[in-house]
Amino acid sequence: MITVERSLPSIVPDFGDAKVTGRKLAIICSKGNLDMAYPGLILANAALGEGIETHLFFTFWGFDMILKSRMDHLRFTMLGNTATHLPQGLGGLPGMTAMATHQMKKQIAEVGVPGVPELLSQIVDSGGHLWACRMSADMMHIDESDLYEAVEDIISATDFIEKTDGAQLLFI
Amino acid sequence: MPTATIHDAEVHVDAEGFMTEYDEWDKTLAHDLAAAIGVELTPRHWTAIDFLRKDYVDENETPTLRRVAAGTGISIKQLFELFPVKPAKKMAYIAGLPKPRGCV
């Protein structure tokens, strides 16, 4: 280890510890489409990198993101999505969803962003909290054994609101 | 463009204090930059810093946290311990590189 005489730089970035400011972010993930899974995950990851306490609540179709059997098989469809700028009829043809999904996964990989399970694991390693919705679990007859291991608990909406007291909230 | 004086060396920095000239950095400066943000550099820290310096040359871009983890074998969890709260930015700062601009 090198020992040096210390003289501090005259301009130092403000890495203001967010824990001190108590900034919190709550993200409700309610969609199970591939393209709707990423916004919440990318934002959660970005917030954690800034030292912000982050909680994700998975509800309704968002369960696909944390179901062991489905989390790596989310799909993207052109149907109902005018932003592909292709004729809607095409989206209904057999194999079209598989093709669109394949294409989107390729594009996501090309920018160095991992698949859903790996991104969730990175979020957990960065200190993020994952919660599953009690009502959705009951409706779909799902229990802890069906869920990604890092999901902390199945909790009610009220529990989540309590846990995220004072947080900024995103519904996706 | 502002400059900051560290030891007797005047180095170019951006408005936030991140160094802007790759070649003005050296290992002694890194200790001062680390000290300025409360990080005491250990060999484990150096593994990360050395990777950042090298990867910046290869990619012409500061690596993201994920890339550092993949390239060094240091887990994301450990990187958060080594460079607390904002690891990606703190590593870049100590390595004398711009803030990473990648999302993940």
The answer, yes or no, to whether residue B33 has pLDDT greater than 50, is: yes
| Distance from C-alpha of A151 to C-alpha of A142, rounded to nearest angstrom | 13
Amino acid making up residue A42: I
Amino acid making up residue A119: L
* A7 close contact with B: CB closer than 8 A: yes
pLDDT tens for each residue of B56-81: 999 999 999 999 999 999 999 999 99
Task: Pick the residue of B85, B89, B97 with the most A CBs within 10 A to test the interface with A by mutation.
Answer: B85
Residue in A with minimal Cα distance to B77: A125
Cβ–Cβ gap A6/B31 under 8 Å:
yes
Min Cα distance A108 → chain B (Å) is 11
Q: What per-residue confidence (pLDDT) applies to B49?
A: 97
Alpha-carbon distances, residue A64 vs A34, A107, A144 (angstroms): 10, 21, 14
Q: Give me the residue spans of the domains in chain A.
A: 23-171
* A110 close contact with B: CB closer than 8 A: no
Q: What per-residue confidence (pLDDT) applies to B57?
A: 96
CATH number among 3.40.1260.10, 3.30.465.10, 1.20.1070.10, 3.40.50.880, domain A23-171: 3.40.1260.10
* A83 close contact with B: CB closer than 8 A: no
Q: What per-residue confidence (pLDDT) applies to A2?
A: 38
Instruction: Note the ipTM here.
Output: 0.85
Judge whether B70 counts as a catalytic residue: no
Q: Which residue has the higher pLDDT, A5 or B55?
A: B55
* B44 close contact with A: CB closer than 8 A: no
Place of tokens 């170019």: B12
Torsion angle of alpha carbons A143, A149, A150, A156, nearest 10°?
Answer: 0
Alpha-carbon distances, residue B60 vs A126, B1, B55, B57, B76 (angstroms): 26, 21, 8, 5, 22
The stretch B16-21 carries a mean pLDDT of: 90
Residue in B with minimal Cα distance to A115: B104
| Distance from C-alpha of B24 to C-alpha of A16, rounded to nearest angstrom | 26
Q: What angle do CA B5, A11, A16 make, to 5 degrees?
A: 150
Amino acid making up residue A41: L
The ranges of chain A with pLDDT < 50 are 1-6, 18
* A20 close contact with B: CB closer than 8 A: no
- Side-chain half-sphere of A129: how many Cα atoms within 13 Å? 17
Task: Write the CB contacts of A102 (distance below 8 Å, at least 6 apart in sequence).
Answer: none
Per-residue confidence at B86, pLDDT binned at 50, 70, 90? very high
The answer, yes or no, to whether residue B7 has pLDDT greater than 90, is: no
Q: Which of B1, B57, B103, B104 is catalytic?
A: B103
Q: In 10 A of CB B65, how many CB atoms?
A: 26
Mean pLDDT of chain B: 91
| Distance from C-alpha of B49 to C-alpha of B44, rounded to nearest angstrom | 9
